[in-house]
Amino acid sequence: MWLLMVLDSVATMQTNITQKYAITNENTYTKSHIAIDVDSRLILYSQTVRGPKHDTTFAIASIRSLKKHKPKYVIADKAYDTEKIRECINKEIKASDQIPLKSNFRHGWYRRLSQKTFNKEIYSLRNNVESVFSVIKRKLNGNNKSKSTRLQNKETRLKTTIYNILQSIKIEK
């Protein structure tokens, strides 16, 4: 089978937060951005940031990090539908983007190209990244216990590393 990469992000809440702290600090969650290999479900790229940041902010860096894996397809949801991201996927890593178009798309050569090459069967494999997030949240507790941003980021990165170790052991068996 082809090498397929899936991009997505999810927010992780902080559990031990006091009411006063929650009111003074609106950004009480971290957001994890990951890219996975569909076949092995291993996390190939992970980045964690504080608070509400748009998914596209970190997409280009994650796509460039996938270049060494030489994917045939990069799958993502509508949040990643920008001409810059599509150009990076098609030009820089020479893969096909499987990102559905937003309803208000107006222009862009790569967007028009994507309309012709979009494959619903391949796009349906995007649920694998949701499964990875689900496993991390169920098995490794989806909430962060740390109060500082730095420690929340480390805690979230540790969870993705532990997930990869568990998944590697599962593949070996």
Q: DSSP string spanning 29-56?
A: EEEEEEEEETTT--EEEEEEEES---TH
Q: What pLDDT tens digit does each residue of the chain (173 aa) get?
A: 456 778 777 777 666 554 445 444 555 677 888 899 999 999 999 888 877 777 777 889 889 998 899 999 999 988 888 899 999 999 999 999 999 988 887 788 888 788 888 899 999 999 999 999 999 989 988 777 887 878 888 888 899 999 999 999 988 87
Under CATH, which number does the domain 4-172 receive? 3.30.420
What is the C-alpha to C-alpha distance for residues 70 and 95, in angstroms, rounded to an integer?
8
**Residue 119 exposure: Cα atoms within 13 Å on the Cβ side:** 11
- Select from 172, 121, 132 the least CA-distant residue to 6: 132
What global pTM score does this model have?
Answer: 0.82
